[in-house]
Amino acid sequence: MTSPLRKIRIAFRLPALTDHTVSSDFIPAAENHDADIDKLFGVAGPLSQAVGGFRPRQSQTEMAKAIANAIAGRQTLIAEAGTGTGKTFAYLVPALLWGGKVMLSTGTKNLQDQLYLRDIPTVRKALNAPVSVALLKGRANYVCHFHLERTLQNGRLTSRDDVGYLREISRFMKTTSSGDKAELSKVPETAPVWNLVTSTRDTCMGAECQYYQDCFVMKARKEAQQADVVVVNHHLFFADVALKDTGVAELLPTANTVIFDEAHQLPDTATLFFGETVSTSQVLELCRDVLAEGLAHARDGADWAKVVSTVERAARDLRLAFPQDIVRLAVNQIAPSSAFFPALDTLRDELHGMTAVLETQAERAETIEQCRTRAVELGNKLSAWSSANNAGGAEAGAGDGAHDKVLWVEAFSSSLQLHQTPLSIAPIFSKQREGSPRSWIFTSATLAVKNDFNHYTSQMGLWNEPAQSWPSPFDYPNQGLLYVPENLPQPNSFDYTDAVIDAALPMIEAAGGRTFLLCTTIRAVNRAADRLREEFEKRKLPFPLMVQGESGRTELLDRFRAAGNAVLIGSQSFWEGVDVRGDALSLVIIDKLPFSPPDDPVLAARIDAMEKKGLNGFVHHQLPETIINLKQGAGRLIRDERDRGVLMICDPRLISKPYGRRIWQSLPPFRRTRDAAMAKAFFEPVQADAGQATPA
């Protein structure tokens, strides 16, 4: 028999795919790779020999077989793998061997970098597979030569920090080969100066740019087109559907295999990009650029300050139609007599007037023409939103059409956003998957509710597609304990967060710090932080306290790991994608079940639509969503075969409500207790009598 490694060398003598058709060269119509996978993942296989600490795991091997066979048959596979299965290697091995042109999409840019810089090189070296790999990010991640030069010349900087950051970016440009801002750690990713030195689809000069040949965005896209494996992220993948500006449009037709890691994030990401959003901030940014470019290139063409001031005033008046600081409303919740609708009409009219002025001056400079194009697009979006509303878009949830949308507004402290969000992404995503046959792999640790994938498949339009789940190799009954404290108030109580802290403090002390406190709201994060600072000082507890927002997530996690006895308080961004192994984390506290906020207009419309079809919106949508989110939070606790710890869920509904049983049965099979003494005893060197806890 030909060895797997021999097959690799033969297969990858083929040239990289660069045309826009799916090649069948790499993928047999139907071939079973089980024997090859057994050898590759076996004790004497290349992974075991080349990767430190690698041990064969049955779940990982079986998952790799399923993915290999889905790739061979150009099929779709939904693959849930419990924490510790090693799903990254399980999909990388068959992808690098038999995947052909592979698009690999992951949840965040951090995970994207991890795959590109660490995981793929490790597997590629172990298999001796000469595949070419490219990393592709959105254009906002690459420094733009043109915009950097313009910013250096006109110096439109708002802070002293930005002046220093701009100097660092200028130095960086002299040495970088990629232009990827992730390589420049001296400048925070959130620094406002990045907006001035990167391009958008609207502000890119394209082939007209004097720096086009040196453009980092174009370079990254060219490399992606020529590579065997391209690593993207979900935002980039779905942004292309709306914008056709990510390079994915050229890549997808050539792909034999598309793999989504962290696939549980896809419904939310796709919803974001399959919808339309227009904001007053975009209008104000346009006004800023119109004033600058008009004065620079057509000073005598118009009274530019007057032209933009009327539009700026109209944009601010639209925001002021809502006196509240932060509000989310479906359009049918806005009173017809509200100032909002006249203010929206005024903004459209004033924007149209500015567009007319730009049209008379557009020939005088390419940048003025760009401003005109942006003004037209913003005007079209405002008109489309108004037209959808006038056509009954407010009642979108009531229809059965494939493209029903929910119209809603979201007000922030200084801006207002108008949204059109699809009621369901299933028909849109199904259409994206049409065309030439290719393999689609969806994988995550959290896709099912008690091995039931219906919620996920209905969200994504993956009806009747095969789905499998592989269990974690961890010994959850001995490694972990689920503790639900007694006598807590209902989660809507005014003093609920204080009650959570009162119950948590004895556990934090027993654990010696080493705690994540995961909250469902920023308000709860801030209140919990205030209480714990006060209590730690009063009780002379030596636990460093780290709070989301005080530093970036990566820095907080690094400090948490280094401290060894810290307490970290975070909200949604710490519920997933966080890996702390070993003794530094032994207690995960979750304040509430993560139900979506009741004021979410999209959720309300989806529930209404489901109930009009005879379904129960809570049972068929809200509850599965909550369980999947909770599984992510619970998954922070046990990350290694040697980890031990307590998962403390404070929400009394887990016990008191009929649906509570369905929730905890979907979690890892920890032993369970409501006894505080027994939960604290779990942290002692000699574990409490196992017979006192209830097996899950």
Lowest mean pLDDT among 240-244, 328-332, 378-382, 523-527: 240-244
Q: Is the pLDDT of residue 544 over 90?
A: yes
Among the listed residues 62, 45, 204, 71, the one whose alpha carbon sits nearest the alpha carbon of residue 128: 45
User: Under CATH, which architecture does the 276-422 domain have?
Assistant: Up-down Bundle (1.20)
pLDDT band at 115 (very low <50, low <70, confident <90, very high): very high
The pLDDT tens digits of the residues spanning 637-666 come to 999 889 999 999 999 999 999 999 999 999
Share of the chain above pLDDT 70, in %: 90
**Residue type, position 544, single letter:** P
Residue-wise pLDDT tens digits, 62-108: 999 999 999 999 999 999 999 999 999 999 999 999 999 999 999 88
Residues 6+ apart with CB under 8 A from 370: 202, 203, 205
The 10s digit of each residue's pLDDT in 159-197 is 788 889 999 999 999 999 999 998 898 888 878 889 889
List the chain domain ranges.
276-422, 476-692
Cα–Cα dist 17/640, whole Å: 39
* Length, in residues, of the chain: 696
Q: Is the pTM of this model over 0.95?
A: no
Considering the chain, what percentage of its residues have pLDDT values greater than 90? 66
Whether the domain at 276-422 and the domain at 476-692 fall into the same CATH topology: no
Q: How many CA atoms lie within 13 A of 347 on its CB side?
A: 35
Burial class (CB in 10 A: 0-12, 13-18, 19+), 542: exposed
Q: Which of 647, 627, 628, 629 is nearest to 637 (CA)?
A: 647
Per-residue pLDDT, 158 = 67
Please determine, for residue 687, whether its predicted confidence score (pLDDT) is greater than 70. Answer: no
Q: What is the pLDDT of residues 397-431, one digit of tens each?
A: 334 444 588 999 999 888 999 999 999 999 989 88
Hey, what long-range contacts does 525-528 have (CB within 8 A, 24 or more apart)?
Answer: 525/549, 525/569, 525/570, 525/571, 527/497, 527/498, 528/497, 528/500, 528/501, 528/569, 528/591
Q: What is the DSSP letter of 254?
A: G
pLDDT at res. 487 = 92
Q: What is the pLDDT of residue 695?
A: 42
For position 43, what pLDDT does the model report? 92
pLDDT tens-digit series, residues 351-385:
999 999 999 999 999 889 989 999 999 999 999 99
Q: Which fold has domain 476-692?
A: Rossmann fold (3.40.50)
Rg from Cα positions in the chain? 27
pLDDT of residue 247: 61
Burial class of residue 425, CB neighbours in 10 A (0-12, 13-18, 19+): buried
Residue 621 pLDDT class (50, 70, 90 cuts): very high
**For residue 189, what pLDDT is reported?**
81
Higher pLDDT, 11 or 294: 294
Residue 696 has what pLDDT?
Answer: 42
